[in-house]
Each structure stands twice: as structure tokens, then as C-alpha cells.
Chains A and B, each alone.
Chain A
Amino acid sequence: MTKKVVWVAGLITPVVIAMVLLFVGSPALTASDQPSGAKVEVKIDNFSFGPETIKVSVGTTVTWINRDDIPHTVVSTDGVFKSKVRDTDEKFSYTFTKAGTYPYYCSVHPKMTGKVVVQ
């Protein structure tokens, strides 16, 4: 009785592990296989986002880098993404997976605004 349970467990465990691996692994695989994994950088300098408006394709990762002596944030006006406070030379990245227009601003200096258009 005990032996049989152990045998069954021994047979099932590798299968379960394989399934878990497959399940966890598959989204990552799919993402890296996508052709549109482009990367675009937006510079934060002199209290402004540059370029202020960027057009990217779906799947693009946008990285903001702060080149000011003052901390800034990158916050989606519609609540889609929100960076932690970024000090000098710190970065924030977000991958856009859906088409649309994404206005954003610096929540510390709200006069600083920008836009990501995803096509």
C-alpha cells in the first residue's frame, strides 16, 4: 500500500514539475519571440521630457532616464504606470502592450508632461 503511493508520487512529480515549468516559462518565451521588442529612451533634462511625444509600436519598452540634479517621477495621467521617485541617473522602464495614447507627467513637477503614442 505504502509502496504504491510512493511509486505513484514518483511518477506524477516530474510531470507536475514539467507542467509548472512549461506554464511559468511560456509567457517569457512568447514575449522574447515577439518581433516588436524595441527599446526607446526618453531623457529627463531641464525639467522636461525629451522627446515630449514619442510614437512606438506595440511591445516597445520605453526607458526614462533622469539627467537632472533634481528627482522626478514618470506617472501615467490615466493610472496605467507610475514610477518611484527617480533621482539623478536613475531609470524607469515600462513595456507598452496595447495600442493607445498614454499621457504622463512628473507628479513632483506637474508642469512636466509627455505622451507615448502606441500603434
Chain B
Amino acid sequence: MRDEKQDLIDQRLQDLNNDGVDRRGFLKCMAWAGTGLVWTLSGGIPASRAFAKGHGMDVGKGGDFSFVQISDSHIGFNKPANPDVTATLQTAINKINAMPQKPDFIIHTGDLSQLSKPSEFDTLDQALKGASAKQIYFVPGEHDMLTDNGEQYLQRYGKGTKGTGWYSFDHKGVHFVGLVNVANLKAGGMGSLGREQLEWLEEDLTGSSASTPIVLFAHIPLWTIYPDWGWGTDDSEQALSYVKRFGSVTVLNGHIHQIMQKVEGKVSFHTAMSTAFPQPAPGTAPSAGPMKVPADQLQRVLGITDVNYLVSGRSLAVVDLPLGDSDSSVSGTGRGTAVADSIIG
């Protein structure tokens, strides 16, 4: 007998197949309006839909679980784009704590701090202590390794990790790999994993069967979004060649402070909003610097990412939740629709 949840998802995907909304326009709206988005990968057929309250995913039964991704908290940043990043991080944590289904853990995809200062890390730690999920996994952003080659980061957040802070773990049948692509960057290049980490990754993945869902997470996108701004990772192709044999791969990144996504075969890529400040869409500004939006708009372009794993479909559903009221921002996309098949990259 088919699972009820799976039926529900399939039904929704069906509904969304003929809505005529162009993918580019949709994603643009998503990125700018901060509209929530549910993204499901089931049996290699990807689809997305706008998020509204009560999405009906009954996570928590059997082996199903959810976790939350937060990113780019930049504690210590105090410029006009957001003079109080600690407050918006706190709002993000409140949002996590208010979730009807408690996430098993939190993943922070880097740029915890603005300047790698001990006081900034202290503030972040203090805020995260208030999160309902006690287990938090980290990977560093470039802002967390500005001094001492990342020693401080490793001491605080990278105990027991390899190299500059990479590691893997298993949770309820899903294999998670945290990668570091912000260390030892070369002049003129983008993000970099490096030979040692790639060798470790190849070896690490041999321990999982092809039917194991894989989640890779790292700070800088592991796909090339915009080379002119360094929004990509030079040797990510090599890393992705190691996950080709797996049936479901989800790649979670931060760094660009906006939602971007792409599906390539069985690999779905997703970037999260920041909890601190938005950045411009690729090529729409002279540089990737912090973008100032009207104060009452800020919480619509900041957010968290809720990831639900459904055992029945071995699928991960990615839901972006802006810090501000999601209902009001849905209006920018008509009734909040999405396309399914044209999203394949």
C-alpha cells in the first residue's frame, strides 16, 4: 500500500505540472521576494512548489525526520544592510523552535562570524544554545578563517574533523558529508576543496550503498552559479563525480545569501538564505556586497531552510522559510506556483 504522504506529494506535483510559470521568472521571484519553496526529489523526478502554511508533510513517523539548515549569520556585521544581525539570528532560532515538527539537528553552512573574532563566535554560541535542536553541525565560511588559518574555528566547531574541518556522519539511513571549500584559496580562483579532501571524500563514500540518500553540505556553492563573483568551487566536478552512483544526492550551500537551485540528474543543488543580510542576484549589481533593502522588507529576504526526509520515497524535501511572514510574500508569484520538469538543469 502506498504511503499517504507520498500520495499527497505526488498529487501536488501533478497539479503543478501545467501552470505555465516560467522557471526563471519563478526563481527570480523566489530569490527576491523570499517566498518559501518546497522542493521534492523522488525517484529522480524533481519538482518544486511555493510554500504555504500547513504543507501537510507529516514528518516524524517511522524513520522520517527533518533537519534545519541555517547559514551566513555574520555575527559582528553592523553595516546598514543589517545593523543587528544577532537579532535576526535570534528570530531564525525562534522560528526553528516554533516548528511543529522538531528538527533532529541543525546544520550551519558557514560564515558564522564576520571577522573570526572570539567575541563573535561567543555571541553565536550563546544564541544557538537557545535552539530546541541541541545537535548542531558546522562547516566554515571564509569569514570564519580570517585569522590563524582557521585554528580557532577548528578548536570551537571542528573537533574530531579532518584537515581544515571536513567530516561525515550517518543519521537514520542518510549519509551526510560536511565539506570545506574556503581554505587555501588560489589567486584568481573560486572555492576549492583540494586534493587531500577529494581523496578523503572518494574513500568516505565507498562506505555507503547506492540506495543511501547522500547530503553534501559546504559553504560556497558546489556548482558554478556566477564565476565573475567567485560563486562556485573550482574542483566541485571532481567531488560530484564520486556521487554519480547514488540514487539521491542533495547539495546544500550558503555564501550567496539567496535561494538558488538546480537539478542535474539525481543531484539536487540548493543554496540557503542568510540570517544576516541579502546579496544581489548575479550580475545585477557592481559587486556581491551586502544589499540594503527597506527595513520592513529585510525579514522576507532572510530565512532558514527546513529539510524533510521521507523514508517512503527516499526523498528529501527542501522548504525555504523567510523570517518574515511567508503568506504575504507569496503574492509576488500569483498564487505561488512552480514548474516541475523545466527545472531540470
Contacts and interface: CB of A to CB of B under 8 A. Distances in A.
A107 B79 CA distance: 22
Contacts of A103: 187
Nearest to B146: A85
Interface in B133-178: 142-143, 146-147
A108 B289 contact: no
Given A47-B229, A69-B81, A108 B142 contact: yes
Nearest to B227: A111
A70 B187 contact: no
A48 B229 CA distance: 10
Interface residues of A, number: 22
A105 B187 contact: yes
B146 to A, nearest CB: 4
A contact patch SS? loop
A7 B229 CA distance: 72
Interface in B285-319: 286-290
A87 interface: yes
Given A85-B115, A87-B115, A111-B230, A70 B290 contact: yes
B288 A47 contact: yes
Interface string A83-118: 011011000000000000001110111110100000
B290 A69 contact: yes
Interface in B237-291: 286-290
Interface of B: 77, 79-81, 114-116, 142-143, 146-147, 185-190, 227-230, 286-290
9 contacts: A68-B289, A71-B115, A71-B143, A105-B187, A108-B142, A110-B189, A110-B230, A111-B190, A111-B230
